[in-house]
Structure 1
Amino acid sequence: MDAKTDHLVRKLRLRHLELLVALADVSTMRGAAARLHLSQPAISKMLGEVEECFGARLFERGHQGIHANALGHGAIYRARAVLHELARATEDVDAMRGGATAVLRVGAPSVTATVPAAIARLRERLPGTAVHVREGRVQELFQRLLDGELDCVFGAITPQLQSGDLLPRVRPEVVLDDALCVLVAQANSLGARRRLRWAELRGAAWVVPPRETLVRQAFMTAFLNDGVTPPEPVVEAMSSVTVGAVLRLDASLLCAVRREQAVDEIARGGVRQLAVEPVIALPSFGLFTRSERVEQPAVLQAFVQAVREVGGRAARGTQMAPRRARVSPAA
């Protein structure tokens, strides 16, 4: 620990970190005072102490309130992460007192075959592990990862994520290819066909997600690349529960999904995947952790390995055509 960090450790209190986060959230001294149940003079004094500890001005004061400058944003980011880590430490101790040997917090989409399989494999190796899965949009999960609320995030590397400022602040542990898949009920006669072209499926009854999704854009690209106009779906749905139900109840339907959902639906039974050429690639999935120079806990290392093993097996198990076409981010 260098002299400056040693000075911070000796002088800075957790209450100071709470103040940084409060000011970032409410942008007024009065609001921060109300949140921390302190007087405004006490808040002003504490802020002066914080800035003295860092040896720099962190906030700009004005008639419109108080706002962090570039240095302040950096301090706030770290303060928020420290406070979340302390909260997680408390939860870990409580869980271990209840019998768990380790706790892992995973962010993931609501539909994923890889994460449940990796959790099962992890618990085979570390039976006492407690796993908390938080579902949501990938951008929100990444922010929770950076804030210290999650240990890792499994999600698609979307164009929006690539163009934002979140991706450069995390570390990819595992990256898995993804592709557009076509599912049908076991009773559908197309399941007996070895190879199909997208153009041959132009007249089928389709279940697809809404137009703004990457899967729908890939679906449209597949037909356009094969020289035909994309068909209009007879069912448009996002919910995996709805998609799986209608697919099993109506054998005439075809469904376009990403590989993660295809693996999950096939495992549930009653559906199969069609081999359609060419394969349309989708943005890859990845397992991400915070890009920090600290040794990862053993439970996180074991989960990374489990995702790597499960993801490799899933890729080998899905039907892949020899030629691939990639969806551009602008599609």
Structure 2
Amino acid sequence: MDSRTDHLVRKLRLRHLELLVALSETATMRGAAARLHLSQPALSKMLGEVEACFGARLFERSHQGMQPNALGASAAYRARAALHELERATEEVSALQRGAVALLRLGAPSVTAAVPAAVAELRRQMPGAVVQIREGRVHELIQRLLAGELDCVFGAVTPELLASDLTPRLEPVLMLEDELCVLTAGPPPRAATGGLRWADLSDSPWMVPPRDTLVRQAFMTAFLNDAVPPPAPVIEVMSSVTIGALLRADPQLLCAVRREHASDELARGGVRRLEVLPRVPLPSFGLFQRREDLQRPRVLGAFAQALRRVSGTPPPARRGARRARPADAK
């Protein structure tokens, strides 16, 4: 620990960290004072103490209120992460006191076959593990991961994520390939010689997600690549619960979904997957953790191993391992 950090540790209090977060989120002295149950003069004094500790001005006053400058935004971000880590410590100690052997905070989409299977596998290998699953969109979950609210996130590597400035701060633990799948509860359509193609299904009644989704875009691309116009869906829906119910209620429907969603529906029964050529890849799924974490909980490694087992993904090659040459094969 260098001298400046040592100085901060000695001078800063947790209340100072709460002040940084409150001011960055409310943008007014009055709002931050109300959140922290302090008077505005007391809050102003605390802000002076914080800025003295950092040796810099962190917030700028304007007619719009208190706005963090670049230094203040960075300090508030780190303060928020530190408070989340303290919250994690409190949760872990509480869970261990109740008899748990480990606590995993996992972010995942609401529809996934791999995560439930991996959690069950983890519980078999580590019976005392406690898992908290938070569901949502991958970009929002990644934000919560980087803020320290989650230990890892399982989600699709979307173009939005790749185009953001978040990717360099993430470390992939595991990557799973994904593809477009077609489900139906009815009999399979008659295929021409050589297998069922997308063009063969252009006149079928389709249920697909909205246009702004990756699945819908891949669905349209599949037909365009087969030299036929994409069919207009008879049902456009996003809810996985509604999709499953409609598939089983109307055997005439075909539905385009991710492989993760398809696996979940197939496990529930009553539907089948159609093999349609050519296969259409979708952005891979990944299990991500914070790159900056120095020491990761053992349960995170155990969960990654469980995810590999249930998905049939081989473990990562050891660094420095010699690759087999053709002459080595027998």
| Correspondence for 1:310 | 310
Preserved CA contact (<8 Å) 2:176 2:313: no
| Correspondence for 2:40 | 40
Preserved CA contact (<8 Å) 2:248 2:270: yes
What letter matches 1:240 in structure 2? S
Identical-residue share of aligned pairs (%): 68
* TM-score, with structure 2 as normaliser: 0.90
1:279-316, CA deviations, whole angstroms, 9 ceiling, x for partnerless residues? Answer: 111111111111214111101111122223333359xx
| Correspondence for 1:184 | 184
Distance in 2, matches of 1:229 and 1:51, equals: 62
Q: Which secondary structure state, in structure 2, belongs to the residue aligned with residue 199 of structure 1? A: helix
Distance in 1, matches of 2:222 and 2:293, equals: 42
| Correspondence for 1:65 | 65
Preserved CA contact (<8 Å) 1:191 1:272: no
Does residue 1:115 correspond to 2:115, yes or no?
Answer: yes
Distance in 2, matches of 1:190 and 1:60, equals: 66
Preserved CA contact (<8 Å) 1:203 1:231: yes
Distance in 2, matches of 1:146 and 1:191, equals: 49
Preserved CA contact (<8 Å) 2:188 2:274: no
Q: Which secondary structure state, in structure 2, belongs to the residue aligned with residue 189 of structure 1? A: coil
Does residue 1:232 correspond to 2:250, yes or no?
Answer: no
Distance in 1, matches of 2:265 and 2:293, equals: 39
Matches within 5 A, 1:4-83: 4-83=4-83
Preserved CA contact (<8 Å) 1:170 1:288: yes
What letter matches 2:248 in structure 1? R
Distance in 1, matches of 2:74 and 2:304, equals: 28
Q: Which secondary structure state, in structure 1, belongs to the residue aligned with residue 110 of structure 2? A: coil
Preserved CA contact (<8 Å) 1:184 1:191: no
Distance in 1, matches of 2:34 and 2:206, equals: 55
Quote how far apart the aligned CAs of 1:220 are: 0.6
Single out whichever of 211-220 and 90-99 deviates more from structure 2: 90-99
Preserved CA contact (<8 Å) 2:191 2:200: no
Preserved CA contact (<8 Å) 1:191 1:273: no
Distance in 2, matches of 1:101 and 1:126, equals: 8
How many residue pairs end up in the alignment? Answer: 313
Single out whichever of 268-277 and 131-140 deviates more from structure 2: 268-277
Q: Which secondary structure state, in structure 2, belongs to the residue aligned with residue 282 of structure 1? A: strand
Across the aligned residues of Structure 1 and Structure 2, the Cα RMSD in angstroms comes to 1.8
- Stretches of structure 1 that go unaligned for 5 or more consecutive residues are 315-331
- Stretches of structure 2 that go unaligned for 5 or more consecutive residues are 315-330
Distance in 2, matches of 1:74 and 1:225, equals: 47
Distance in 1, matches of 2:284 and 2:178, equals: 5
What letter matches 1:299 in structure 2? V
